[in-house]
Amino acid sequence: MKVITGGVCAAKGFKAYGVHCGIRKNRTKRDLALIVSDKRATAAAVYTTNLVKGAPLTVTKEHISDGYAQAVICNSGNANTCNANGIEIACQMSELVSKTTGVKAEDVVVASTGVIGQPLDITPIESGLPQLVNGLSYEGSGEAAEAIMTTDTIKKEVAVEFQIGGKVCKIGGIAKGSGMIHPNMATMLVFITTDTAISSKMLQKALSGDIQNTFNMLSIDGDTSTNDMVTVLANGLAENEEICDEGEDFNTFMKALNTVTVTLCRMIAGDGEGATKLLECKVSGAEDLNTAKTVAKSVVCSSLLKAAMFGADANWGRVLCAIGYSGADVDVNKIDVSFVSNKGEILVCKDGAGVEFSEEKAKEILLEKEIEIKVSLGEGEYCSTAWGCDLTYDYVKINGDYRT
pTM score: 0.87
Residue 186 pLDDT = 47
User: Residues of CATH 3.60.70.12 domain(s) within the chain?
Assistant: 2-270
Categorize the per-residue pLDDT at 376 as very low, low, confident or very high, splitting at 50, 70 and 90: very high
pLDDT digits (tens, 9 = 90+) for 157-176: 999 999 999 999 999 999 99
pLDDT digits (tens, 9 = 90+) for 264-284: 999 988 887 778 999 999 999
Checking if the pLDDT of 404 tops 70, the result is no
Nearest to 149, CA basis, from 58, 261, 24: 24
67/64 Cα distance (integer angstroms): 5
146/30 Cα distance (integer angstroms): 6
37/194 Cα distance (integer angstroms): 10
Q: What is the CATH number of domain 278-400?
A: 3.10.20.340
57/81 Cα distance (integer angstroms): 10
365/361 Cα distance (integer angstroms): 6
Mean pLDDT of 321-339: 97
pLDDT digits (tens, 9 = 90+) for 197-211: 999 999 999 999 999
Mean pLDDT of 320-328: 96
Q: Which residues pair with 284 in a beta bridge?
A: 376
Checking if the pLDDT of 42 tops 90, the result is yes
Superfamily of domain 2-270: L-amino peptidase D-ALA esterase/amidase (3.60.70.12)
**Mean pLDDT taken over the chain:** 92
Peptide bond into 185 cis (omega under 30): yes
Residue 403 pLDDT = 65
Residue 195 pLDDT = 98
Catalytic residue numbers, as ranges:
187
User: Residues of CATH 3.10.20.340 domain(s) within the chain?
Assistant: 278-400
Checking if the pLDDT of 178 tops 80, the result is no
pLDDT digits (tens, 9 = 90+) for 333-370: 999 999 999 999 999 999 999 999 999 999 999 999 99
Mean pLDDT of 385-402: 84
Residue 190 pLDDT = 94
Nearest to 63, CA basis, from 13, 97, 104: 104
Residues 203, 232, 132, CA angle at the centre, nearest 5°?
Answer: 155
Categorize the per-residue pLDDT at 116 as very low, low, confident or very high, splitting at 50, 70 and 90: confident
Mean pLDDT of 230-246: 97
Categorize the per-residue pLDDT at 287 as very low, low, confident or very high, splitting at 50, 70 and 90: very high
Q: CB of 170 within 8 A of CB of 11?
A: yes
Checking if the pLDDT of 6 tops 70, the result is yes
Checking if the pLDDT of 58 tops 50, the result is yes
